[in-house]
Structure 1
């Protein structure tokens, strides 16, 4: 079976990247592909807990959409990207898996397809 990793490195609001990345993963899982998402750089903001985008900017809550992926797909968050942005694990939704550079390398290497959005 093909395996797919979607890399999201853009902030969740102001662009369609985060929403598009989640829909790609959801569609792949629906077709029974092994699909996960990796949040790095500004993409880590997509996993912040307690987002209020629906009432403030009338946009779907990206963090809530992540629950559509779990548990079939994994949501990886790059620890160095968190640290660089002053964030920590307690700031995030509870279904993410924190990964360091070595784990990130192994995850990317294990997938047959990698899509950056």
Structure 2
């Protein structure tokens, strides 16, 4: 039986490389037939904002790469609804790559995972 890995995106996309690095880890781990779960909590919900323009900061926009999660077989992609509400973000403002859910569901997904990775 394959192991499961929850990757938790909890930081804003720019100001650190953690979002890009976690995305790379998720895609690489998927190549090893692990069950990968991408979870977006706290400021990590900003990772999925559509129409980002990091070029003004002289940074590369990695957010379109989240569209590849499905291609790599990463089926569980969840956003903490509470964190969206807290930040005044609507589902329509996000890339259509994940579904909103409760904090309780995210906690359950994490507790059922064999490994949890967060930077």
Deviations 1:90-114 (A, max 9, x none): 1111111111122112211221111
Gaps of 5+ in 2: none
Equivalent positions of 1:93-104 (< 5 A) are 93-104=95-106
RMSD: 1.3
> 2:79 maps to which residue?
77
> 2:108 maps to which residue?
106
Identify the range of structure 1 (9-18 vs 30-39) with the bigger mean alpha-carbon deviation: 30-39
The 4+ residue runs of structure 1 with deviation greater than 4 A are none
- Taking the aligned partners of 1:81 and 1:108, their CA distance within structure 2 comes to 17
TM-score with structure 2 setting the length: 0.89
TM-score with structure 1 setting the length: 0.90
- Taking the aligned partners of 2:3 and 2:114, their CA distance within structure 1 comes to 6
Q: Does 1:56 find its partner at 2:63?
A: no
> 1:88 maps to which residue?
90
Gaps of 5+ in 1: none
Paired residues, number: 116
Deviations 1:20-65 (A, max 9, x none): 1101101101121111211111110001011122x32333323201
